[in-house]
Structure 1
């Protein structure tokens, strides 16, 4: 059955049937083998950057089994404020509690309330849905609470009984917020010490590159240390200034320079497109009410320019890998090699699929 015909009803990801595209078994260790040689590091085969089946494999092995960076705690300062984030194919949110803590949940609507998941939602592109932020649509901005608590705009996230929604593990990680779809997940590694948010917002930039290409481009540098979940590098900014970098698997890049740290959180919005949520961090002494707006804007401008410069090779690589005749080996950097090795390990380690029912689904042809 073609995808167009299948989308007359709900089309689940079926990991029990395997992940295949372009004549390849994408979960086979052989698919990764040639790209993990440290003597000649190179990108994965093109299907890893353009095939929906590989995005579904990543959903199964990475986005549902890892600690993901999704934003800053300062973005949701008040009780009932809500931060949306779509992890792979799953619509989630984090909300500030009345006691000041954080609670994470799956959204009430995972498929937007549509009678059938539209074709455009199953081709690997997040859509701009005016109805709700579901597992296939783009996330909106942070939703601040009203004077009387949650607002009507939060209904599609919370429903009428949010306490009945499937929970998500959430942790304040320094000034940042990280989540894991497994509510029983072990806590993430300790956060870097002494960092606070210099601004109570994140800014967004979107680039035409697969998230893996974006991560390795942002973390361009020379490897000097690693931990189980992070790689640490040294490098230079486009201006020539020295920088320290850290890539935290799978979607967080920290770039430290000029007494500041730029936190870049990656979120796939299409097979060949990545949204960057960007936060500006610094030592506690810098986060004062007297920090001039003009100085803060100058920092934002400098970091956004740095990110644009780093992302240019990723955009070019994506364009090359999208060509039908793309089959030559493309070199990668230290961050790319480390990222691919971790991805391959996650694919190998995921439990065998024994349940054919997707995590969230409705009967074919039914609404929510």
Structure 2
């Protein structure tokens, strides 16, 4: 029996399968035509527009991978909190008093709602006053107050944050990575010699699915790969040489102009992707370097660097927006690699043998 979506009932039931547009999205045959190295193509359109495929990705990718969510420098003080919604799950990372990091599921996974409203089950992150909801859009970093957690943090922390479900978290060089599985094997080693050039990330949003966004950002010639990363050579829109690295599933590093632009992808809708962008540089460039020059001169140079990188990202993303409109065409080297990884994760999911729901609501009981 297939359960119809209704207000107050959560229809994502992996034991019922993931079907849309008349096909089984988890069937290896769904991926087959798109994984030919000789003629790589985009996945079928359902992979970029069907809520069922987003739920399959939640099951196979977002809940069992090392996700990159921001810069460690963004939460430098004890108590600072960095939110990130992974798939349908509201999470956060907080700086501890000893300088370490702790990751947790948010206290209010569904905001103040007793159940997930139907309008939140559309594949689009909603703008909601309950900002810790797993279906709402993330806010920015929450700095700690003088006396500890602020009222705005309550939706994340509750009264006893130590009782919240833990999330694995690692300081990965200057970046922060999380895994919803607290027992996950640590990620591969980060690139050496990188540090955040400033304690900020900037955001840009584009009208395309996250898979198309990653493919466009990582345009280049395949150079080498590991189990969870792909390395390419390419050129910027200005013609300058660039080294590009993709770390599955949502981090692209573009090295050029003496800096490394870190782009972290986060789906905000089936056809919408938010980019969290940070600038990295050599770890021997101390913050004190700014103080040796005039502040106004440094700020002008820093802003010019941001403008150049934002223009580069916008140029790279233009083909992704066009591809979202067409939902057909060839996959580049990064796109093929990503599709291969997703297909492998789907195949590797544990088989579901128990069909008993793990939860029930007033409308769900008896189904």
TM-score, length-scaled by structure 1: 0.94
Give 1:111 deviation, angstroms: 1.1
- Local SS of the residue matching 1:56: helix
- 1:44 counterpart residue number: 43
- 1:248-267 correspondence runs (5 A): 248-267=247-266
- 1:17 counterpart residue number: 16
- Local SS of the residue matching 1:112: coil
- 1:324 counterpart residue number: none
- 1:352 counterpart residue number: 351
- Local SS of the residue matching 1:343: helix
- 1:236 counterpart residue number: 235
**Among residues 274, 294, 308, which one is paired with 1:302 in the alignment?**
308
- Local SS of the residue matching 2:284: helix
Instruction: Give the 3 Å change call, closer, same or farther, for CA 258–92 of structure 1 in structure 2.
Output: same
CA contact under 8 A between 1:80 and 1:97: conserved in structure 2?
Answer: yes
- Local SS of the residue matching 2:343: helix
Instruction: Describe the superposition over 1:181-200 as per-residue Cα deviations: whole angstroms up to 9, x where unpaired.
Output: 00000000000000000010
Give 1:364 deviation, angstroms: 3.8
* In 2: Cα distance, 1:355 partner to 1:293 partner: 58
Instruction: Give the 3 Å change call, closer, same or farther, for CA 298–39 of structure 1 in structure 2.
Output: same
* In 2: Cα distance, 1:289 partner to 1:127 partner: 41
The total of aligned residue pairs comes to 357
- 2:271 counterpart residue number: 272
- 1:204 counterpart residue number: 203
CA contact under 8 A between 1:196 and 1:287: conserved in structure 2?
Answer: no
Give 1:288 deviation, angstroms: 2.5
Does structure 1 residue 317 correspond to structure 2 residue 323?
yes
Give 1:287 deviation, angstroms: 4.0
- 2:294 counterpart residue number: none
- Local SS of the residue matching 1:213: helix
Give 1:357 deviation, angstroms: 6.7
CA contact under 8 A between 1:75 and 1:201: conserved in structure 2?
Answer: yes
Instruction: Give the 3 Å change call, closer, same or farther, for CA 167–46 of structure 1 in structure 2.
Output: same
User: Which sections of structure 1, spanning at least 5 residues, go unmatched?
Assistant: 322-328
RMSD over aligned Cα atoms: 1.7
Instruction: Describe the superposition over 1:243-268 as per-residue Cα deviations: whole angstroms up to 9, x where unpaired.
Output: 00001000000000011000000000
Instruction: Give the 3 Å change call, closer, same or farther, for CA 364–354 of structure 1 in structure 2.
Output: farther
- 2:293 counterpart residue number: none
Give 1:9 deviation, angstroms: 1.4
Give 1:8 deviation, angstroms: 2.0
* In 2: Cα distance, 1:45 partner to 1:351 partner: 24
Give 1:131 deviation, angstroms: 2.5
- 1:330-349 correspondence runs (5 A): 330-349=329-348
Instruction: Describe the superposition over 1:229-285 as per-residue Cα deviations: whole angstroms up to 9, x where unpaired.
Output: 000000000000000000100000000001100000000000000000001000023
Structure 1 runs of 4+ aligned residues shifted over 4 Å read: 355-359
Instruction: Give the 3 Å change call, closer, same or farther, for CA 28–83 of structure 1 in structure 2.
Output: same
- 2:295 counterpart residue number: none
CA contact under 8 A between 1:13 and 1:358: conserved in structure 2?
Answer: no
* In 2: Cα distance, 1:310 partner to 1:95 partner: 33
- Local SS of the residue matching 2:69: strand
* In 1: Cα distance, 2:147 partner to 2:23 partner: 54
* In 1: Cα distance, 2:115 partner to 2:133 partner: 13
Does structure 1 residue 166 correspond to structure 2 residue 197?
no
Give 1:33 deviation, angstroms: 0.5
The farther-off stretch of 107-116 and 47-56 is: 107-116
